[in-house]
Amino acid sequence: MKKLLTFVLIVMLACLFLDKVGGSDMHMQFNGDDVDGPLEWLFGLVFAGGGLLIAAMALVCAAVVTGVALAGVGVVLIAVVALCVVLVLALSTPVLLPLLIPVAIVWLIVSRNRKQAQARQQGL
């Protein structure tokens, strides 16, 4: 932090002592008076930095608002997709019934074997 502060101080002093930092034809007026020399450059730098800071804050606010709005839309879309899946399953249950009978038989056999294995382990 100390190195950064010394660097900023050196740059500001250089701006004050230099006549012009970079050539430009920009003319700045402050309260009706022309500002010339390094002070013109310093004011331009400060105002440009302030504009960039305001723009960055506006972008962050826009991103937060967009994130909140799209998160709400996303929740609604997930609910709609889940409702559609439940509706499709409800409508296809009579068609899937012949497939569910063998699945139920296999499930019963596996669960019975698992219960018997657990009973043997507890009995030891």
Give the C-alpha separation, 99 to 105, whole Å.
11
In a domain, residue 27? The reply is no
Q: Give me the residue label for tokens 């012949």.
A: 98
In a domain, residue 86? The reply is yes
**Coil, strand or helix at 18:** coil
Long-range contacts of residues 88-97, Cβ cutoff 8 Å, at least 24 apart: none
How many domains in the chain? 1
pTM above 0.85, yes or no: no
Domain that holds residue 55: 44-118
Do the bridges between strand 28-30 and strand 33-35 make them parallel or antiparallel, or are there none, so unpaired? antiparallel
Per-residue pLDDT of the chain (124 residues; tens, 9 = 90+): 778 888 888 887 777 666 555 555 566 677 777 777 666 767 777 777 778 888 889 999 998 888 888 888 888 888 999 999 989 888 887 777 787 888 889 999 999 999 998 888 887 6
